[in-house]
Amino acid sequence: MERTNKDMQQIKDEWNRQGRKYATDVNAMVEFGETKGWENWKGEEPKDDRGHLSEAIFQGLKAANENNTVTQFRADFPPAHTPLVELMKEKGQSIMQLQFIDEQKIIFVTGTAYEQRQAYILNNKDILELDASINAVGKSKQNNVFAIATNNTISTTQGWEGDIIATFRLDKAKDIGITELIPFNDGLKVLLVSSDGIYIISNTDENMIHPLPDPEDDEWEPYMDMENATLSNDNKYIVVGDQCYDHRVLDHNGKEITEIGTQSAYPDFCMFSKDDKQLITNSCHFYNGITIGVATSDFENINIPAYEAGEDCITIDDGMRVYCGISTSEFYILGDAFGYIKAVDTKGNSIWKHFLGSTITGMTISDDENTLWIGAASGMLHKLQLNKGLRDNHTIGTANHYEDFRMIFWKDEPVIKW
């Protein structure tokens, strides 16, 4: 049913009135909890009661995309997450493997490792759909090397669409879903992360470096949950972990150096600081988690028992279940299961936090560290200009970021911009 201008004005008034109040109330609650202690909070949790408006908002947004009036629609209806949750349950999908190319251009994929994926390039506001056979994309920590996986073949190139460095035809690792793909800085090896094993892929071998086989189990299989791995920026170290194994620090060939005991239930994320002086690891329980920091200079001597931490590490964050993150020259930006991104430095000082919604599933940043792209399981891809100033008064968090737009990649729907 087509809505009249009067109907839309009423919807606009309610959307904005409730949206402002909800953001204000949430921000006040979080500030109280973090400054005076959550145990002292006696108020009710704020509610966003705009769910009944979601279908009208979504149809209006689609019409705005068709009519090229998105800018006005965005001003009239600032984006929100909570009212659209029911639509996301049906239509949402994870946006993952975000990699910065140059200027305002990134590449990413929709879908998890064992779903049918689709790769895209986002260049400013323009979307380009790539070949459907691409099932994973990755970028090196240094030297601008890209990796593309398609039809059980991985190719590395010097720069996006640059000269081919190497081509690897998968054998042991064929036909498995790729959680993450990280080429080494020279493009001659690739770290392949999957629930069926974590591999170093080269032209001479496909070496599974995690998990460790059980020599007493003839039917042992390498299947994992929460598989995660990273390379140090200089590629000197590899770190691997999963739900059932503590994080293991390996050398660049895959030989174990040390283990880092889990501080919560399940190891699920790891990353090095930009200068490689610190490794952070996250372990989670339900939607919460603990992130610790370890000095890389002490890898040979550290002793970090499970659940006991000790003097060989510091607490970086004691609340987030971290799914993805990036290292900047000043701090880490971590994405969690509650839909927050949070900046925290190497000493554990919280710099800012910003709410987007849903589980954060991917992230990348421009080389000048001014533009941040974030993907979420909501099916939304957010583009933020950092520290540019808030765009509206519906924003939840303590950051001062300007959202250029969010692109919505929902199943069985056209790609639309908000």
**Residue 5 has what pLDDT?**
72
**Residue 188 has what pLDDT?**
98
Q: From 53, 52, 70, select the one nearest 61 (Cα to Cα).
A: 70
**Residue 176 has what pLDDT?**
96
Relative to beta strand 314-317, strand 288-295 is: antiparallel
pLDDT tens-digit series, residues 320-341: 999 999 999 999 999 999 999 9
Gap between the Cα atoms of 43 and 20, Å rounded: 19
Give the Cβ contact number of residue 303 at 10 Å.
Answer: 14
Percentage of residues in the chain having pLDDT higher than 90: 95
**Average pLDDT in the 186-203 region?**
98
Strand positions, DSSP E, 73-203? 95-102, 105-110, 118-123, 126-129, 134-139, 145-150, 153-158, 164-169, 180-183, 190-194, 197-201
pLDDT tens-digit series, residues 141-177: 999 999 999 999 999 999 999 999 999 999 999 999 9
pLDDT tens-digit series, residues 52-100: 999 999 999 999 999 999 999 999 999 999 999 999 999 999 999 999 9
Q: CA angle, corner 258, sides to 252 and 261, nearest 5? A: 125
pTM of the model: 0.96
Provide the phi-psi class of 174: left if phi over 0, else alpha when psi is between -120 and 50, else beta: beta
User: In one letter, which amino acid is 216?
Assistant: E
At 298, the pLDDT band (50, 70, 90 cuts) reads: confident
DSSP 155: E
Gap between the Cα atoms of 193 and 184, Å rounded: 13
Which H or E run contains 16? helix 5-36
Mean pLDDT value across the chain:
96
Q: CA angle, corner 192, sides to 190 and 196, nearest 5? A: 155
